[in-house]
Amino acid sequence: MTTITHHLTDDLIFGYSAGTLPEAVNLIIATHVSLCDECRAAIDAQDAVGGALLETVGDAPVSDAFLDGALALIRSDGYAPTPRPIAVVQDPVAPAPLRDYIGGSLEDVKWRPVGMGVKQAILNTSREATARLLYIPAGTAMPDHGHRGLELTLVLKGAFQDDEGYFARGDIEIADEDLHHTPVADISEDCICLAVTDAPLRLKGLARLAQPFLRI
């Protein structure tokens, strides 16, 4: 049984329930929630509050142009529905919301090396934020870095540690402009994570030179 100790913030729960977050952020939240009973219950509660508030709002007329615009958005390529979690995890590593984006299992992922044995696979999401899978060999340290925006990291396999604590399967680390860290994969097992960023990282040295090519 997975013991999850690092959870979503209230802001992320509210944004996910309201449908205001970028697709990549929705994806990592849906994947975490499929593993975490506590956060799933919090989102269900927020959905119930939102539904109750909608019932108190009176009907408002809308124009034909508004309806036509909404239908056009739904039909366009730019429309991306929010992935919703399922209650039962059916895969030992990749939960259902993530499997929809990788086309099956992690065995189907086309990894690309980024150095020091680390590999990544960038997932196809909208441009507001970037989602990537990271494969980090046991005991390997990621580049020391800061953040220009939000970075969410969800552990799918293995574990990593930094100044903020120890993160194992199901744990999600939420990093912002105030956090500067050097995550290190646990020595006991290779680590696979789903990471989402909405702005480039703050890197130094050679890692910074390679940053445009790695899209981090």
- The phi, psi pair for 36, rounded to 5°, reads -115, 110
**Per-domain residue ranges for the chain?**
1-216
Q: Terminal CA-to-CA distance of the chain, rounded, Å?
A: 33
The arrangement of strands across the sheet holding 184-185 comes to 165-168, 159-162, 184-185
Digitized pLDDT (tens) for each residue of the chain, 216 residues in all? 568 999 999 999 999 999 999 999 999 999 999 999 999 999 999 999 866 555 565 566 666 665 666 666 666 655 455 555 544 445 589 999 999 899 888 988 999 999 889 999 999 999 999 999 999 999 999 989 999 999 999 999 999 999 999 999 999 999 999 999 999 999 999 999 999 999 998 877 656 656 666 676
φ/ψ of 147, rounded to 5, equals: -140, 140
The DSSP H or E segment spanning 168 is strand 165-168
**What is 1-216's CATH number?**
2.60.120.10
What is this structure's pTM?
Answer: 0.81
Amino acid at position 137, single letter: P
| Contacts (Cβ under 8 Å, ≥6 apart) of 82 | 16, 19, 21, 23, 26, 30
In contact, 53 and 20? CB cutoff 8 Å: no
